[in-house]
Each structure stands twice: as structure tokens, then as C-alpha cells.
Amino acid sequence: MGEGGDVEAWSAGEASGEEYGSQGWEGTDGDVWMVVAGMSFDVREGFRYERVPFARFADEPDVPGELERMRSADPVTAREARQALGCAMYCEGCRFPVGALAVPFLLRIAADPFTHDRSSGLRMCALVARRNFWDDGSRAGLLRVAYADDDVRYGVDASVQNWVIRAARDAIAADAHIPIALLDDPDPQVREMAAYVLAAASDRAREIATALHARLDVEQDARVRAGLVLAIAQLAREHRHEDAAAFTHALWSDTTRTPEVRVSAALGWLCLADDPVPDTLRTMIEETVTPELHRLLSPTPWLTQVDYMGADGLSHTLWQMLDPDTWPGPAPEPCF
């Protein structure tokens, strides 16, 4: 992100005859990606909300106020702020532009050990940086982050979803050092969500992949291990890492690996490879996915995209990938 730019500069040069969010605003101050790109390090690090044009992209709620309330020592105040801000960022499959503006601040709030429920702030960052899972019925859909450039999507507020996602992903990449550090956090939920955030980053992929692999080598929590495998696969898919399919194949076919690693690697391989599903993989799934593993993996953030209640995410995902002709598709996710 650049070091220049403030609310006055962004407010200058009003275009005529176009609504904010329309394609005619691409590359202008009505494109949230341009606004996020111009947010300086001092603004982000100093929580200089007054230098960010939040009001341009959202009338309600008071986004800077909700961000500050998320930092409250009172857990009730912080929870109410998260709920208000969550629905301002993302609701029923639509990512609102103001969410991308909030990402740099949410990352810093999550890094503060005194913040309540830090993993929820990371989840908000990650969701605004991803396309709708249920827009894609393909096997690879689970790990697809962004819409194709020639597939322009609009939100219920007429905002260009491609711009919002691109802005949020760039914001994550610019401050990737924050979630990378959180991979070593004492809280396993924070570690899991840090991996989920990093998998959506638009840049610094090799640096992020190195950090994810390093954490996987030492991670003791089973669900976090599964998430790290999915994060590595998602980052690799988005950035076309040529060795990713071989890496995931080696994991799921290795009988010495733990069940959660083998199954998450199988999901990653199914997204990364175009090959027909081998019988050995189907057999491994049948023998490995127990009710206990189902309960362990379904609440991971990748699988709650499929079933936001966290009960059937794994079985629904396997259904889609192994028997796509009968897959009905999941219901859209509600507000936070």
C-alpha cells in the first residue's frame, strides 16, 4: 500500500453520472481497491480512522466507532461491536466495500492479546476477501478465492464484488506479517483463523507458504493441522504453485499421517488436480472419515462455507467432490 493519500485527496475529483461501485468508477476514488491501496502505513498502524472515507462506502453503522468498541475491555461491548461490524462487512453472500477498509484495523485488533474473541475479527477479514463458495459447483470451488476477471459480480448494494475482494486480499498481503505472527499464538482458534486469512492474500505467497509449512511441522492441535493443510493448498491453487498437487497427494496417501491431515490433504488434492478420483482416495475416505473426525473437521472455516452451522460441512463437501451430479448445493450464509 502506498504512503500517500488521505480522505481529502480521495474526496477530490467527483465523477458525474455514475454511482459508487459501478464499473465506470474503476481506478477512481469510487473503487474501494484504490482507496485501500492509498491507505498509508501510518494510518493503518495508528488507527487513523479520520483519514479513511468510511462514510463514502457505508452510511450505517458507525464503522470507526464499532472498530473502537471491538477493542473494549468489556466483553459485552466488544461482542455487540463485532456483530454490528460483521453485518456491515458481509451479509447473505454480499461483501460490502466498507469491509475491505476495515481489514487493516481488524488485523491489528486481532493481534492485541487483550482483545476479546480475536479469532472472530480474523474470520471477518477472511470472509470479505473470498468469493461465494456456493457460486461454483465445480470440484475446485472449495479453494477458489476470487472471481475470474471476466466474471463481474455485483452485491445487493450494487457494489462490484470483484473490487471488494481484491481490496481485502491486498490489505491482507500488505500486512501479512500480522497473521504470520499469529500462527504461533497460544490460542488454537487464532492460529486456525490466521491460516484462513493468509490463504486469501493476493501477494507474498512464497513467504506465506513458508510460514504455513513451518507451522504445520510443529502444530499439535489436530483441527489446526487440518486447516494449515487446506491453507497451503488454497494459497497454492490461487498462486499456481506447481508442486502443490504432489504435496497434497503425498500427504493423503501416506498411511503414517494422522486422519485429519490425510483427509484435508485429499480435499486439497481434489481441488488442485483435474485427474479422475482414484479408487485409493475413495477407499481412504471411507476408512478414515469416522463420526469423530466429522465432528472435528466440519467446524473448520473452509467447511463452514458449505454449512455455516458447522454440523455437516465435511460430509457435504465430500458429497460435492465425489458425487457432484447429485450435490444440491448449500444454503447461503447469513450475517455474522
Phi, psi torsion values for 154, nearest 5 degrees: -115, 145
How many angstroms separate the most distant Cα atoms in the chain?
63
Phi, psi torsion values for 148, nearest 5 degrees: -65, 150
pLDDT value for 217: 97
| CA–CA separation, 117 and 121 (whole Å) | 7
Q: Give domain limits for the chain.
A: 20-326
pLDDT value for 327: 60
pLDDT value for 141: 84
pLDDT value for 93: 80
Q: Report pTM.
A: 0.89
pLDDT value for 27: 63
Spacing of C-alpha 93 from chain mean position: 13
Give the C-alpha distances (Å, rounded to integers) separating 301 from 49, 127, 200, 298, 308. Answer: 29, 9, 12, 8, 9
Which neighbouring-strand residues pair with 160? 154
pLDDT value for 7: 46
pLDDT value for 59: 67
Domain 20-326 belongs to what topology? Answer: Leucine-rich Repeat Variant (1.25.10)
Residue 243's CB is within 10 A of a number of other CB atoms, namely 9
Tens digit of pLDDT at every position of the chain (336 positions): 544 444 444 343 333 334 445 555 666 667 898 999 999 999 999 999 999 999 888 766 699 999 999 999 999 999 999 999 998 998 878 899 999 999 999 999 999 999 999 999 999 999 999 998 765 667 888 899 998 888 888 888 888 899 999 999 999 999 999 999 999 999 999 999 999 999 999 999 999 999 999 999 999 999 999 999 999 999 999 998 888 999 999 999 999 999 999 999 999 999 999 899 999 999 999 999 999 999 999 999 999 887 755 568 898 888 888 887 776 665 555 454
